[in-house]
Amino acid sequence: MRIGVHVRVSAGYPAAIEYAKRVKATAIQIFSSNPRSYRTSPINRPALEKFRELRKEAGIEPCAIHTPYLINLAAENEKVSTGSLALLRFDLEAAEAGGVNYVNTHLGSYGKRDREAGFASACRLLSAALEGITPGVTLVMENSAGAGSLCGGTLEELGRFIKAIDHPQFGVCLDTAHAWAAGYEINSQRGVDDFLYQAAEQIGLDRIPMFHFNDTEVPLGGNRDRHHHIGEGNIGFDGFRALAARPELRDKTAILETPGEEADDARNIETIRAIFKGAGHEI
């Protein structure tokens, strides 16, 4: 298993790689542009190529780009859907340029819109974004905390997207904090086993290359997106031990999006590594 962390690239890609090395990450996730803006500067190909080289030298692979939070693929407003497609396409093309393996995106919200119409729009935009993208890049949609009109809060709905889009470069990233907030009781072996059984049934584990490992203090089914340190929230050490007990996670990538500074990242990575090593994983 590969274990990584979300790293800021505001000080440049070389600094981001140095950071990942210091916290002993073997994978990395970044934002390619300002996560809260629709504006993007042109793709900086030389910088991305250098980033690819540095990752290779440091053995920090795979790499994921997390798309901006503004993306809403199910929106009725045409300006929003056009802007969302442009942002998604930008990150997929940046991923091509930098040899990045995954582009991870939130789907957005149906708002007051009819869910089926929103679902159809999102499928159309996801398919359009993937057109002609080099096979080395996989687009993964992230499960949401499941609040009201948010898309992708259930494994069943994610499975519907997988079937409707039916593209080999399209998959799922499961965020543990979001799953808990959406009502999946993954703080015990029984809960984790049931969660992964449903994920296999609805989506297929081969379509889930990546996880976000985050703990959370939100109550079960609380529908809020708040991340906390590994083992110190409601998923707890028992939840992550239960995940580690599953051999199917052997070849997956786990990215931490836990709060805090460098020392916190190093500690959270060390915690996951200890738990997974203890369960017999190579990590």
Which parts of this chain interact with Zn ion (CB under 5 A)? 142, 175, 212, 257
Place of tokens 């890609």: 13
Q: How many CB atoms lie within 10 A of CB 79?
A: 9
Residue among 55 and 66 whose Cβ is closer to Zn ion:
66
Q: How far is CA 122 from the centre of its chain?
A: 18
Residue among 45 and 125 whose Cβ is closer to Zn ion:
125
How far, in Å, CA of 10 to CA of 261, rounded? 15
Find the shortest distance in angstroms from Cβ 283 to Zn ion: 19
Find the shortest distance in angstroms from Cβ 50 to Zn ion: 26
Residue among 26 and 258 whose Cβ is closer to Zn ion:
258
Structure tokens at 256: 């931490």
Residue among 50 and 226 whose Cβ is closer to Zn ion:
226
Residue among 91 and 142 whose Cβ is closer to Zn ion:
142
DSSP β-ladder status, 210-213 and 253-256: parallel
Find the shortest distance in angstroms from Cβ 29 to Zn ion: 9
Place of tokens 């799953």: 179
Is residue 177 within 8 A of residue 215, CB to CB? The reply is yes
Find the shortest distance in angstroms from Cβ 125 to Zn ion: 18
Is residue 45 within 8 A of residue 67, CB to CB? The reply is no
Q: How many CB atoms lie within 10 A of CB 128?
A: 11
Is residue 87 within 8 A of residue 41, CB to CB? The reply is no
Find the shortest distance in angstroms from Cβ 175 to Zn ion: 4
Is residue 73 within 8 A of residue 151, CB to CB? The reply is yes
Find the shortest distance in angstroms from Cβ 66 to Zn ion: 6
Residue among 6 and 247 whose Cβ is closer to Zn ion:
6
Residue among 16 and 177 whose Cβ is closer to Zn ion:
177
Dihedral, CA atoms, 239, 245, 248, 250, nearest 10 degrees? Answer: 100
Find the shortest distance in angstroms from Cβ 116 to Zn ion: 25
Query: Helix %, strand %, coil % for the chain, to 5?
Result: 45, 15, 40
